[in-house]
Amino acid sequence: MSVLVVGSYNQDHVWRIDRFPQPGETRRGLGFSTGPGGKGFNQAVASARQQAQTAFIGALGEDALARTARELAAAEGLDARWQVCSDTTTGSCGIVVDAQGQNQIVLDLAANERLSPEFVTAQQDLFAGARVVLVQMETGLSSVRAALAAAPAGCLRMLNPAPVHADADAALIAGVDLVTPNETEFADLLARCAGIDVGADSVAALGDAELHALCRRLGGASVIVTLGARGCFVSHADAARWHDGEAHYRLPSERVQVRDTTGAGDAFNGALAARLARFPQRSLRDALIQAGRAAALSTERAGAAVAMPTLAEVQARFG
């Protein structure tokens, strides 16, 4: 097993609409779909579809959605370990997507918040075989910290701080090798961990040297700030560790026909983890290019986990 993802499963309910309604306004939907989601599950599917042997640890209620989750995990070839929480429901998510592919999301984490550190650390066989452990913040932080602490020596610890948790702190960031915030999450982490106030909408326009200096204020982890259509910015404390020749650099995004941005960040993180696990001697830049291509291709499709592209699809599109 190469990639171990610890995180959330949600059943996504998606409505398509021409534009987002104003407060108190009712608008006619243009279509509806439902399918698997949750940042953790999305990223696990993205990793598996990039041909990395992938395992997943998560929590479910004892309901029909839980049965669906088990079937979907099996269909994707995931070694999934589920903590069953009989006193709550499986996580669910309502997503509205407008004509430009932007989204608004309402999330009930439900069982995801019950994922216990004891259940996580009990899956020692999965941790023992992992090259990359990937976590997010749609579960309680105790389970996130437990997963990072359980990662064996030499394993890459990767944190996608989404959505930023109220209790996220500098100690959490210090416990990872790679952190992948978007602009909003990056601004939030700077405020929480370094006491620095930066507007999220100004992050992409900052000069490279200034942005690198801000990234370094988060500690020793390498930082990848994802910038949507503007690509991503990379900042290293030690570029040589990642086989990169530069301490900081930007990579552009791929040009695609955007239909739905839901899950694009998860496609990026899952594909990045897969590439790092499969080719540990290649540069981070190489892995980021592949991850960016997977993320871009995912935006041409509706949905979350179902929109994650396969390695063959990425290669057919981008070479």
The set of catalytic residues is: 266
Q: Are 4 and 57 in contact, with CB atoms under 8 Å apart?
A: yes
Total Cβ atoms within 10 A of residue 143: 26
CA–CA distance, 22 with 8 (Å, rounded to integer): 30
| DSSP β-ladder status, 31-37 and 10-16 | antiparallel
Buried-exposed string 80-90: b where 16+ CB fall within 10 A, e elsewhere = bbbbebeebbb
For residue 191, the 8-state DSSP code is: I
Under 8 Å CB-to-CB from 122, ≥6 apart: which residues?
none
Work out the end-to-end distance of the chain between its first and last CA atoms, rounded to an integer number of angstroms: 26
Q: Is cis: bond before 163, omega within 30 of 0?
A: yes
